[in-house]
């Protein structure tokens, strides 16, 4: 566990990213893009992956295409990856500690929501085995939501998410959970505190800036941010 020397302020609302944070879908994205890269003798490296984590699908495809000089358009790459993802996304699993924390917050009437870069179609594929779990959230803001004009690292998705609590939550009262550098930047730009739970493969230089950094959701202590303790 590490911090950037920032003191923690009490929060009243919690917002979760989804991919690689609630669900192990980042692993499945890697599988799908590497399958395509194999055709061209290319490697989908962590350098490339870390630059696209948290971005909207077409933006991510463009960066992957340009970085690896693939002989496809971004649209073609996206279409091919979607065909693979349709096959593998339904196997997504909840990550350790996720159910415990979400159920705990729900039990203590803490408003909770999801702000994800995933569009509606891929969200359905990823959550098909977890409908009851995602029904626990007050609301879910998707990447193709018309009110989200700019994807992460811009703050739009988190600001839209905060505004949809009833009553709306002020950003400084929201705690965000993220795994991606772009998501951490978005939360900070929104004026929110952010707990980062990065993949072990992520370069340490890309895990700076978060209010708190953990190796797993299982390490999180709600009391740090003025939330009810685990029983």
Residues with catalytic roles: 17, 19
The whole-angstrom separation of Cα 33 and Cα 67 is 13
**DSSP letter assigned to residue 149:** -
What Å distances lie between residue 207 and 102, 161, 196, CA to CA? Answer: 24, 23, 7
Going across the sheet that includes 139-141, the strands are 2-3, 212-213, 193-196, 174-178, 13-16, 112-115, 139-141
Give the pairing type, strands 2-3 and 212-213.
Answer: antiparallel
Report the SS3 class of residue 71. Answer: coil
How far apart CA 95 and CA 154 sit, in angstroms, is: 26
Residue 17, Cβ density class (10 Å: 0-12 exposed, 13-18 middle, ≥19 buried) = buried
Peptide bond into 216 cis (omega under 30): no
d(CA 115, CA 108): 21
Measure the CA–CA gap between 149 and 23, rounded to whole angstroms: 25
């Amino acid at each position: 566990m590490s911090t950037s020397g920032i003191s923690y302020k009490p929060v009243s609302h919690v917002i979760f990213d989804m991919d690689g944070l609630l669900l192990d879908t980042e692993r499945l994205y890697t599988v799908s893009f590497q399958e395509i890269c194999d055709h061209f003798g290319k490697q989908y490296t962590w350098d490339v992956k870390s630059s696209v984590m948290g971005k909207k699908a077409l933006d991510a495809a463009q960066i992957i295409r340009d970085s690896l000089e693939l002989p496809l358009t971004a649209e073609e790459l996206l279409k091919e990856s979607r065909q693979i993802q349709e096959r593998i996304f339904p196997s997504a699993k909840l990550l350790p500690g996720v159910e415990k924390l979400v159920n705990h917050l729900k039990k203590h009437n803490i408003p909770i929501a999801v702000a994800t870069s995933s569009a509606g179609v891929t969200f359905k594929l990823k959550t098909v085995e977890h409908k009851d779990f995602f029904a626990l959230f007050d609301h879910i803001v998707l990447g193709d939501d018309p009110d989200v004009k700019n994807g992460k690292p811009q703050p739009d998705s988190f600001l839209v998410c905060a505004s949809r609590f009833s009553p709306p939550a002020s950003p400084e009262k929201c705690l965000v959970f993220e795994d991606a550098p772009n998501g951490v930047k978005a939360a900070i730009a929104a004026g929110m505190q952010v707990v980062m739970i990065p993949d072990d493969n992520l370069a340490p230089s890309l895990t700076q800036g978060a209010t708190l950094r953990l190796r797993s959701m299982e390490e999180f202590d709600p009391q740090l941010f003025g939330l009810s303790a685990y029983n």
